[in-house]
A and B are shown apart, each in its own frame.
Chain A
């Protein structure tokens, strides 16, 4: 927090001629992909009692809400299966549906752009904004724009991107990063939000009321006032999309606050950046996904606002509409016949809310805009398995399966993670042999023959006789990772295999 304080102060108060003045609050300087491996990064968060308490409260609240509203629908399982089928079908014919979407968008007055990677997507958006001659845009929360780091690219081009979702605003003003795809400020409590609003709002627009308290209702009202002038002023809005309907060219945004409606309605130009996996074939398919998404995400029967638009509507809303279709690694994921199942994801966040690991540290240790189980399964596939964090993410899971149980599109997340671990290990095997591989190799050999394993059991029993203890309190090396927090029960003197043989001899003798 202190470093952020400094960087903001230097950006807003001191203006050396050489350094360009930042328009928006600076996010943390470190790149997410440079994060240490997950087990290491966890240590930076797990002892933060405030974070633990915030996360525990939030995840437990939303879990209860989700399961209550999911249970209300007698055909919930059929809906999940239908969504799985729809998204599988779409992915299997993605080229066809992308071209169909493009044709229908153009027919309805929208302009379509294609971006192979993040850099290309950012270049396209910057050029579109600059063509309108403006230096600021309002933004609806969008994961893909987080993924391509669009805000920072815009900032570098001298364009201020104002986040308008309440949680994104908290994150942006807090010089922070999102820790959840649904509720990006899930790691913050009301006192922290109040402090951020009081400190920062006045630097970037309408100040928060001086007597602002920590009542969420009043905090939301402060955001309403702060953003209203930006909504009214903005000429260009940026959005993502929740769904794109190929056979009509309709885009869908699901939201709660109305900031989405403001962005989709008030400005003259709308630029929607969307991942190519967001497609559904036809309008009717929306009946499936629009039942699953709100109940799985915020745990509501329906979110307050859902907007659908089809290109340009004469006389209503933006008269210049752009759609930027972004690949940025998705086609690479699609090429993996096992890994591609993650492309069904509709970004509801149910998996992270259900995850006992995410619950204890929040999203930041994942070093990705997509945290939790889906992040661990998606991010390394999107970015490649090159960084330390990406190699560690498939292992950031105890395989408890709570995520797969709640996933509305039935992504078998633990299975995918097990598969991705295999990919990481296969890559590792090409390098030098480490302790882990040696141990695993040894046990693999032991476990391939009953007699070998029997001898191993005998050795274990001998160890017990030698050490003479029922529990060990401390072990060296890898073993220390167990005994740092718990005692290790020692094997008894005799394995079952031995006992069985004895018994068989007794029986035979009897």
Chain B
């Protein structure tokens, strides 16, 4: 098992456009752990924005581009519980709806090789201490899809536990949805606003410097609310904490 693993980065569309630092951190982290990382340029997004809004035909472009981008690789790693869960749960359903047997088989094959970042670190690389250094107080919001669809369990906590200098502060009502829900946040805007206000209030109560999770979409939602309230709490993706090292901090 000493051979170098080639990992295809499933960047996540939102990270690609809005949070490139998460992708950079994921790549830096995986390279530090001895992987070779590639970025297949045919990738776009998981398509859940369409699927979850009821537009299945419109999601198929994403399904096909995912197959095209990633079929060649043994390990596909995405820094998002939600999007990895969508690939695993929804791509097979969407493919089945087309009745296209070739697509169904291709999807099944590529789905089996898709990992959420913390799953890949712990289950495939077998590492919990990634040599990270982050001398700050943080609180962790386990996002709904990471927790209940991707079922990544306590992996993020195990990784955070080994980060040097980091203090994890408990978040009350941690298992409550932040109210993002993709297009839910605009289709049910008033409800979504009430949910994110409650979540932001709990985050502020922790007194942490950073709010961390494994899904930037939820961070965009909670962070947008924190920013509106003028809160000093910063949002950060777990990959960025895991990528931070003492050497960087010193430089």
A interface with B by C-beta (< 8 Å): 38-39, 42-43, 46, 356-357, 360-361, 394-402, 404-405, 415, 418, 421-426, 436-437, 440-441, 443-454, 456-457, 460-461, 471, 473, 478-479, 481-482, 484-489, 491-492, 494-497, 499-500
Query: Could you tell me the distance between the alpha carbons of A446 and B221 in the complex, rounded to whole angstroms?
Result: 23
Which chain A positions have C-beta within 8 A of B157?
none
Q: Kindly provide the distance from the CB of B65 to the nearest chain A CB, expressed in whole angstroms.
A: 6
CB-defined A-B contacts under 8 Å, sample of 28: A42-B190, A46-B194, A360-B194, A395-B184, A395-B187, A397-B181, A399-B145, A399-B184, A400-B148, A404-B148, A415-B89, A418-B51, A426-B54, A437-B55, A440-B53, A443-B49, A447-B65, A449-B42, A449-B65, A450-B40, A451-B41, A481-B189, A487-B224, A491-B18, A495-B16, A495-B17, A495-B20, A496-B20
B186 within 8 A of A: yes
Query: Could you tell me the distance between the alpha carbons of A478 and B185 in the complex, rounded to whole angstroms?
Result: 11
- Cβ 8 A contact of A360, one of B15, B69, B90, B191: B191
Chain B 15-57, CB-CB to A under 8 Å as 1, else 0, gives 1111011011000000000000001111111010111111111
Which chain B positions have C-beta within 8 A of A440?
49-50, 53, 55, 58
Which chain B positions have C-beta within 8 A of A444?
50, 55, 57-59, 61-62
B interface with A by C-beta (< 8 Å): 11, 13, 15-18, 20-21, 23-24, 39-45, 47, 49-62, 64-65, 69, 89-90, 144-145, 147-149, 175-177, 179-182, 184-197, 220-221, 223-225, 227-228
Query: Could you tell me the distance between the alpha carbons of A5 and B13 in the complex, rounded to whole angstroms?
Result: 56
Interface of A: prevailing SS: helix
Q: Kindly provide the distance from the CB of A439 to the nearest chain B CB, expressed in whole angstroms.
A: 10
Interface of B: prevailing SS: helix
Give A497's nearest chain B residue, CB to CB: B16
Pair B189/A482 contact, Cβ less than 8 Å:
yes
Which chain B positions have C-beta within 8 A of A461?
17
Pair A356/B176 contact, Cβ less than 8 Å:
yes
Contacts A46-B190, A485-B196, A495-B16: A400 and B177 contacting too (C-beta < 8 A)?
A: yes
Query: Could you tell me the distance between the alpha carbons of A437 and B58 in the complex, rounded to whole angstroms?
Result: 10
A-B CB proximity, top 5 nearest? A448-B61, A398-B181, A444-B58, A425-B54, A485-B193
Contacts A400-B144, A448-B44, A482-B224: A491 and B17 contacting too (C-beta < 8 A)?
A: yes
Contacts A401-B144, A421-B52, A486-B227: A395 and B196 contacting too (C-beta < 8 A)?
A: no
Which chain B positions have C-beta within 8 A of A485?
189, 192-193, 196-197, 225, 228
16 further A-B pairs in the complex, CB-CB below 8 A; given A447-B50, A485-B192: A39-B189, A360-B191, A397-B181, A398-B180, A398-B192, A398-B195, A400-B144, A421-B52, A443-B50, A444-B57, A444-B61, A448-B60, A449-B42, A496-B16, A496-B39, A497-B41
Q: Kindly provide the distance from the CB of B58 to the nearest chain A CB, expressed in whole angstroms.
A: 3
Which chain B positions have C-beta within 8 A of A460?
17-18
Pair B224/A445 contact, Cβ less than 8 Å:
no
Query: Could you tell me the distance between the alpha carbons of A445 and B227 in the complex, rounded to whole angstroms?
Result: 32
Pair B193/A399 contact, Cβ less than 8 Å:
no
